[in-house]
Amino acid sequence: MELFNVLTVQQARSTLAQHLTKGNREEIVPLLNGLNRILSRDICAVEDVPGFDRSTMDGYAVRAKDTFGATESLPSYVNVTGEVLMGQEAVGTVAPGQAWSIPTGGMLPQGADAVVMVEYTEELDELTIGVTKPVAPGDNVVRRGEDVKAGTVVLQAGHRIRPQDLGLLAAVGVTKVPVNLPLRVGIISTGNELVDPSKEAELGKVRDINSYALYGQVLEAGGAPQLYGIVEDEFDSLKGTMEKALNDNDLVLVSGGSSVGARDVTAKVIETIGEPGVLFHGIAVKPGKPSIGAVVQGKPVFGLPGHPVSAMIVFDLLARPIIETAGLPLARKVFPLRAAINRNMHSATGRDDFIRVTLLRLEDGSIVAEPVLGKSGLISTMVKADGVAHLPLSKEGVEAGELVDVWLF
């Protein structure tokens, strides 16, 4: 494969998708353990929610027609013939000219079709009230199945469970949920210059940054990361470690060894350990151009640049969507923030540029994106930034004051 015969990000995702198949590895977990997990199957409601017509106000259950024309000066009078008790079935019928007292959440008795708020009634005696404001059928009432109809799909496969989803599933009586097993992700750092963070970095050596940054990104995306340590830029060493990582995991990240240096061997190793191998070597982005995308034994493998900023940005573009959906490389279901960039920034057409930015809120409420300048090897620039501004491949740059999409970390 020709080095740097680059693909756009979308072309890279599409190329990967053609060689990946959605897995069906799932587990059943208790509802409260399902937060932030991805549903592996559709969830259907087995009963209506609510299961009965219920009041949304404290007041009186009535037949709406008995209140038509009621005013403060000329109330409509009805006889109070019953009471709805909270949490109990309303047994009986509201006949014409009658009303039942009812609490918020109480079951609407048969015959009643609306609830008059207690604020719009006046007590004539213990058995009679005057209604001072009319109600229409359905007023202050939630009908059976109005929230959820029995038999409907309430959450679809592929949905990430949020706190409100836990409440919905509880409402329909689901106490266990089928979810995708998190993708197991092996992380390898390559480079003769790298040392473990626990060791002193002698002159010419640097501590391993990428293993730890990528570990955090994998966890954040819902994956299960495993570190395989530092491997020297040597073919046999990298091949052995990569084969082990592939055997243990569903996806492998290799940082370093993806550019054009004489000792960069990642692409060569991938080509020898399985088909179809390297699918692209180079994507039209800055930073992160010399990235590798491959599939081996049906598992995605990414060769990420050694520079920390580049590695983290390419991870977000290509690996994160696969990990988040526990399968195919889908677009992330998140949306960028629009902000005005506060300085001119150059970009080359034909590539997507991602610029680290901090966000500032001005006195008028507008949001400004201020570029964090620095080379892609400087991890501190990622720490200072709130996200990255995207300059699309169709643009030659942006002028100060122009709106840009900002993807937050």
Please indicate, yes or no, whether residues 189 and 273 belong to a single structural domain of this protein. Answer: yes
Q: What is the 3-state secondary structure (H, E, C) of 55-72?
A: ECCCEEEECHHHHCCCCC
Please indicate, yes or no, whether residues 368 and 284 belong to a single structural domain of this protein. Answer: no
Tokens 């959820």 found at: 148
Answer yes or no: is pLDDT of 306 > 50.
yes
State the pairing for strand pair 153-155/176-180. unpaired
Q: Which CATH number is 36's domain given?
A: 3.90.105.10
Please indicate, yes or no, whether residues 200 and 283 belong to a single structural domain of this protein. Answer: yes
With H, G, I as helix, E, B as strand and everything else as coil, classify residue 13: helix
Answer yes or no: is pLDDT of 293 > 60.
yes
Q: 262: pLDDT confidence band, cut at 50, 70 and 90?
A: very low
Answer yes or no: is pLDDT of 309 > 70.
yes
Please indicate, yes or no, whether residues 69 and 126 belong to a single structural domain of this protein. Answer: yes
Would you state the pLDDT for residue 93?
97
Write the CA distances from 153 to 44, 102, 148, 192, integer angstroms. 4, 32, 9, 54
pLDDT tens column, 353-389 = 999 999 999 888 899 999 999 998 899 999 999 999 9
Which has the minimum average pLDDT: 44-53, 249-258, 302-311, 328-337?
328-337
Is 92 a domain residue?
Answer: yes
pLDDT tens column, 144-179 = 999 999 999 999 998 889 999 999 999 999 999 999
Please indicate, yes or no, whether residues 45 and 163 belong to a single structural domain of this protein. Answer: yes
Please indicate, yes or no, whether residues 387 and 363 belong to a single structural domain of this protein. Answer: yes
Please indicate, yes or no, whether residues 123 and 245 belong to a single structural domain of this protein. Answer: no
Q: 327: pLDDT confidence band, cut at 50, 70 and 90?
A: low
Would you state the pLDDT for residue 333?
64
Would you state the pLDDT for residue 233?
86
Burial of 33 (0-12, 13-18, 19+ CB in 10 A): middle
User: Based on the structure, what is the number of domains in the chain?
Assistant: 4
Please indicate, yes or no, whether residues 218 and 351 belong to a single structural domain of this protein. Answer: no
Q: 200: pLDDT confidence band, cut at 50, 70 and 90?
A: confident
Average pLDDT over residues 133-140: 97
Answer yes or no: is pLDDT of 339 > 50.
yes
Is 330 a domain residue?
Answer: no
Which has the minimum average pLDDT: 14-18, 75-79, 333-337, 399-403?
333-337
Answer yes or no: is pLDDT of 52 > 90.
yes
Domain containing 234 equals 9-25+181-324
Report how far residue 154's alpha carbon sits from residue 403's, in angstroms, rounded to the nearest whole number.
37
Average pLDDT over residues 193-206: 89
Is 153 a domain residue?
Answer: yes
Q: Which CATH number is 224's domain given?
A: 3.40.980.10
pTM of the model: 0.83
Residue type, 164: Q
Is 332 a domain residue?
Answer: no
Cα 207 vs. chain centroid, distance in angstroms? 32
